[in-house]
Structure 1
């Protein structure tokens, strides 16, 4: 039996965190292929991207395997990376969008991998790799996300918007947050600990000064009454945070997978998302698992839902589908598993078709979570729709 009263903590990082800079660049490259490929007459189903980025003091290395149009040259990739760094806000001596040395080491996708993934003859498109992927949803927020992570993201998103608008000119792009939530009878009721570390451009500012700047955004991010007199604040606890981003710490694509998903409130399969086209089930099947879990909860079948999918490289159909309703289900898990297999094609091709993933929609996912976001008109965050809820309800009914 799960505990009813406890504390749970999740963290988030801003778009200027060194790892998130790398996630953003890698996802910009994915989007570049989905823009340039169709423009060059290439079927988007044939595009392949597996792009990793490393960033340190005025150095960026972009490496990986791709398949796409010849128009995507190293110079174009470098240009796209610079635009991403500029948009994030880095114009500092130690990391500047215009002056950083960018090395592009992309090469063609392995033929051995391609033969397993590509469709041909009687063979359907296979998964881009083996692995396990998880999806999760719960009723702790309107977006059906775990409360600690959702509000940790929201704090930094509001701070970022204020920085970009010039409302808080003293803050830099690099920031982290952490929120500890107290649960009572299984429901989130208050925040006991708040941690915010944010880069600041004025060396004279103290932790007390920074707290005065960020406190209104924290208060706006959290539900009314969740901050109490007992809430402990830890704002820039080291006392100074001027050197930030890749100049302060080396960044790598894929190092913030828990921030990207559920903040530790649910299992994670281990595969990162950013820099991967949707043939890679690390990404697309994780999106599908979230989509199904969210629709199960939205359908009223359960208050909480965890879904696991498993795949083998080159094999189209999932090896297994597992559902856990955490004791909150209105029907048996086995019945839900059967229903989900009926209402959605969970092959890599089926997922890409159902969610419309062959589009340049990925750079926007690189910060503030891949889940709990509003579906967008151009197909972004399509996995956050609840348009399958009625079909699930009917299938289990």
Structure 2
């Protein structure tokens, strides 16, 4: 049994200066400071204790697999590094977001194929610090999407950890890449010629016509029959949100416009915003500022997208910029994601919940992770 003393416990709707007792069976009791602490006592020196962070969408593995262009890292080493980066960022539940399809080559396909094997084997071996679950990002215009999906569908190791699926259409002219001129400029920066870009654009458009609707129907049918949470991705227009809602989709992930976010919220859909957008002070691709969505009361949860440490820092940005009080900001990275994913055993400092916990020291407004526990076991 471990007892944390001299802590500031961030509860769902309040901050309690007190002690917290837990073991590997879960949280026993958050309570006001007592004069006679028992068990293995750790003094938190007045730091905050928050629930373990739950990240519904992280592409961080891709950054470890390809730390430089044309420098693919051994996949298992990359996964271990990814896990460590998540843990030291206070992320105790990681939804590894692997892409089914790649409209710009095969890099993401190889990352997916290697990643699902590493995820299954390393999790079974008990060598990972955080708990890893699976989020399938389905590129609907990709010809190979269904074939890749079936690799997970037919793998008994992966079925129990498949908890979230999202529908993506990264075609130029829609969603995140609505500005085709901006998209073309990005491809030029990748080293493509104008002729190569034209050929790629025509191929993408043809694939969109041929594959998008049948892939969408396939994924929707699977999620409905297997009770897996399904999200839309990069919605821009009300028409897109309304169609998703009519199809039973209840999560809007990374809406790229205020219009789409407002529409989703009005339809009681959960809205996930990008934490890096908040830390950077805006979207890296020219879309809606996530802090504006926060201030409008439209966001249910944050996700790291591509920087695990952005989760905690974004929550404190919300506090520092007076957009939210601390308990509300912390709920965006703990209780909110837990509810969306149906994880009823975590996300709160509450008796009976899993002892996924993070000790956070704040220096000049910047949160610094001091200790992390997953299931009552210290991992950082």
- TM bin (shorter chain): under 0.3
Q: Which has the higher contact order (CA 8 A, sep 6+)?
A: 1
Higher helix share: 2
